[in-house]
Amino acid sequence: MTAEDKIRELKLVLPPVPAPAGLYEPILVDGSLAYVSGHLPILSDGTMLKGKIGTDLTLEDGISSARQAGLNILATLRHKLGNLDRVSRIVKILGMVSADSDFAQHPHVINGCSELFKQIWGEQNGVGVRSAFGVSGLPGNACVEIEGIFKIKQ
C-alpha cells in the first residue's frame, strides 16, 4: 500500500501548506534527501496550538500537537514532491517541546508525530532516528516544533 493510499485509508485530511514565518525555505531537496524546516502545530483554520506542556497543556495535548505538526510536514512534503509516494523512508525527526522545567516526557510528546509517520510508511520505513528535547519557548508560543529529513525516490 502506498503512502497516499494509507492517507486515504486513515481518512487523514492534510491542512493547508503553512507559509514560512521568516527568512527560510520550508523544504529543501538535495539529491535523494528532503530537509524539512521546523513545523508548528497549526490547525486547518490557521490557529496554532500554544502553551507549555506540563503547565498550560497536558501530555495528551502535547501528543496531539506533535501529530498536528506532523500533518503540516506531510502537507509541505506533498506540495513540494507532488505526492507522498515519493518519500521512501523517514531518516531523522527532531522535536522540540515547550515545557516547564519539571517536565521530563519530551519523547512521549514527539511520539505523536513519529506514530503518524509509522502509520503511513510502516515500521521499517516510517521510523527513523530521532531527537526530542525541551525548550523554554518556541515561536508564537507554540507548544511543539518538529523538523525532519526524508529520503526520496528520484
Instruction: Give the pLDDT score at 94.
Output: 98
Residues counted in the chain: 154
What pLDDT was estimated at residue 77?
Answer: 98
CA distance 124 to 13: 24
Q: Which helix (H) or strand (E) holds 74?
A: helix 59-81
Q: Which three cell numbers stand for residue 73?
A: 510536514
Cell of 112: 505523536
How close are the terminal C-alpha atoms of the chain, in Å? 19
3-state secondary structure (DSSP) of residue 45: coil
State the pLDDT at residue 133: 96
Architecture of domain 3-152 in CATH? Answer: 2-Layer Sandwich (3.30)
CA distance to 46, 51, 102, per residue, from 117 (Å): 22, 24, 28
d(Cα 50, Cα 142) in Å, to the nearest integer?
4
Helix (H, G, I), strand (E, B) or coil at 68: helix
pLDDT, tens digit, for every residue of 32-75?
Answer: 999 999 999 999 999 999 999 999 999 999 999 999 999 999 99
Sequence spans of domains, the chain: 3-152
Below-50 pLDDT ranges, the chain: none
